[in-house]
Structure 1
């Protein structure tokens, strides 16, 4: 792959695990003029949403993990602004945010899968503990409540402008 050969780079939810300033600076020279970057996040984590089931899930996870869950995984408005400023600092132009919002019902298995996908590997219960973990969460959740997830997909976009020779 030669210099400036990429048309687009897409970075997903895992950005909060990365050194985003360094990443944006490293990606910029790989993109051709007019090429772009998209930084996508899927909104408030399941355990921080404004519902009785979400609060119950949060309490259960905090007890299981022994920590207070406050981090938004890079999805808060403060985080998105920080990422937008870092994109501009790395030389991207026309940086803006595109938002799509929706709500949907989750089954327990979908909710549990979402939780497991967000837990760092070193804290995720092993296969032999997973059924116990799932049952603990199931018992913590209100029995008669639907699991309505509110999703705010945010995409920060920017493009490479004219490159100085």
Structure 2
């Protein structure tokens, strides 16, 4: 993962407005899983626009939100300021910068590193080995998968959306963004290989209902900036998606996986 992976500019704006947040049970699972206290420091790696960093800030002394996209960090900072959250430090960087961050913080300084829907961009095996010495006893890594991508769900409107997008981009859309069961098994094995113990998964399920604008905005939040249709072409792109969808409503079953591994 390198600085500037294409989720900048308007894509970041879509991300801040339309990406799913995390319901309170997810934050509670993270708090309980690592026994977080008001003395702890948490790293949110690949923090995006702050969907995890901002709510986690109320649980700990401070959060470091780290992301390779300056626009993501700018919008995250605006969200935090709008909620009067003052104990998050926003840092430009990627998983390859964790060794430098670790040298600044020192061994045993972190209670948790949380990675929300971003690990598929990272060298996870190397990352887990690098992170392990940085945790206090009982601390560790949480890999959060925040539901299946909009175009890969098992329902009629998602099938129609996927067909529309595959026709538009001229290729099959198969990437799972780290949400598939085989991804979770692979990450769990890598945590164990890096020395983490008590590796287990907590699942939080909830239902939602999306509007057409939320579907279109969610799609645009996942398209790299160089692939996003330009301003003049975007209304036609949105209309194409809208016309492809069956009549609403558009229910969504969200399956949130929180995979945790701890150090002794």
TM-score of the pair, normalised by structure 2 = 0.58
Out of 218, 234, 248, the position equivalent to 1:130 is: 234
1:126, distance to aligned residue in structure 2 (A)? 2.9
Out of 163, 177, 197, the position equivalent to 1:73 is: 177
Cα-Cα RMSD: 1.3
Aligned pair count reads 160
Q: Secondary structure at the match of 2:175?
A: coil
Matched with 2:163 is 59
1:101, distance to aligned residue in structure 2 (A)? 0.9
Out of 122, 131, 141, the position equivalent to 2:245 is: 141
Partner Cα separation in structure 1 for residue 190 and residue 225 of structure 2: 28
1:134, distance to aligned residue in structure 2 (A)? 0.9
Partner Cα separation in structure 2 for residue 30 and residue 46 of structure 1: 35
1:157 maps onto 2:260 in alignment: yes
Matched with 2:137 is 33
Runs of 4 or more, structure 1, over 4 Å off, are none
Matched with 1:7 is 111
More strand by percentage: 1
Q: Secondary structure at the match of 2:260?
A: strand
User: What pairs with 1:77-116 in structure 2 (closer than 5 Å)?
Assistant: 77-116=181-220
1:128, distance to aligned residue in structure 2 (A)? 3.1
Tell me the alpha carbon deviations over residues 64-86 of structure 1, each in whole angstroms, 9 at most, x when there is no partner.
11110122111111110000101
Q: Which runs of 5+ in 1 are unaligned?
A: none
Q: Secondary structure at the match of 1:82?
A: helix
1:130, distance to aligned residue in structure 2 (A)? 2.1
Q: Secondary structure at the match of 1:128?
A: coil
Partner Cα separation in structure 2 for residue 126 and residue 92 of structure 1: 45
Q: Secondary structure at the match of 2:232?
A: helix
Partner Cα separation in structure 1 for residue 174 and residue 113 of structure 2: 29
Q: Which runs of 5+ in 2 are unaligned?
A: 1-104
Tell me if the contact between 1:97 and 1:157 (Cα under 8 Å) persists in the aligned partners: yes
1:149, distance to aligned residue in structure 2 (A)? 1.2
Partner Cα separation in structure 2 for residue 82 and residue 93 of structure 1: 15
